[in-house]
Amino acid sequence: MSKPEGFGNEPDELSDDGDLTDMLGELRVLLPTAQLLSAFLITVPFTPGFSAIANAEKWVFLATFVLAVVGLVLLSAPAVQHRLIRPLLDRPRFKSLASRQILVGAVALASALVSGAQLVLSTIFGHVVGSLAAALVAGLIFLLWWWLPRRWKQSGKL
């Protein structure tokens, strides 16, 4: 006796019925990062040493803060939207739109992580170390978040 659809069967990408469980799991990984980074950045201007950092670093801080908040808003938007438009009439379409928001939010979060690394390490060790660290973080994010999954998809092994 075969199991009914949705009861233990793994749907493939072509027959995706709009189940939002996988999206919820992905957001459970991304949201705490955006929340923690935003919370940290909110406290930074109130520290005694913030006024002593270079003006250029304040602009990097501003960019980092804005990117972190944009990432947080975009990553949390699907949950709020889902709650406001319940019941969903077209789950696959909602999932497609929400997936786009999550990807744009991930780009904003990745950019905030890169500029955050640059800001912190430039302040502590100087501009050269900060820039090298930012490049390393950017490369690592590009490799693990974008290049590797595309490579796996092209190879058809996952």
Domain boundaries, given as residue ranges, for the chain: 21-155
Mean pLDDT over 21-36 rounds to: 89
How far apart (Å, rounded) are the C-alpha atoms in residues 67 and 108? 5
Alpha helices in 11-146 (DSSP H): 21-43, 55-84, 91-125, 127-141
What's the maximum distance between 2 C-alpha atoms anywhere in the chain?
71
Mean pLDDT over 13-19 rounds to: 56
The answer to whether residues 74 and 101 touch, using CB atoms and an 8 Å cutoff, is: yes
DSSP code at position 147:
I
pLDDT digits (tens, 9 = 90+) for 35-89: 999 999 999 999 998 888 888 889 999 999 999 999 999 999 998 998 899 888 9
pLDDT digits (tens, 9 = 90+) for 89-126: 999 999 999 999 999 999 999 999 999 999 999 988 99
Task: Write down the pTM of the prediction.
Answer: 0.82
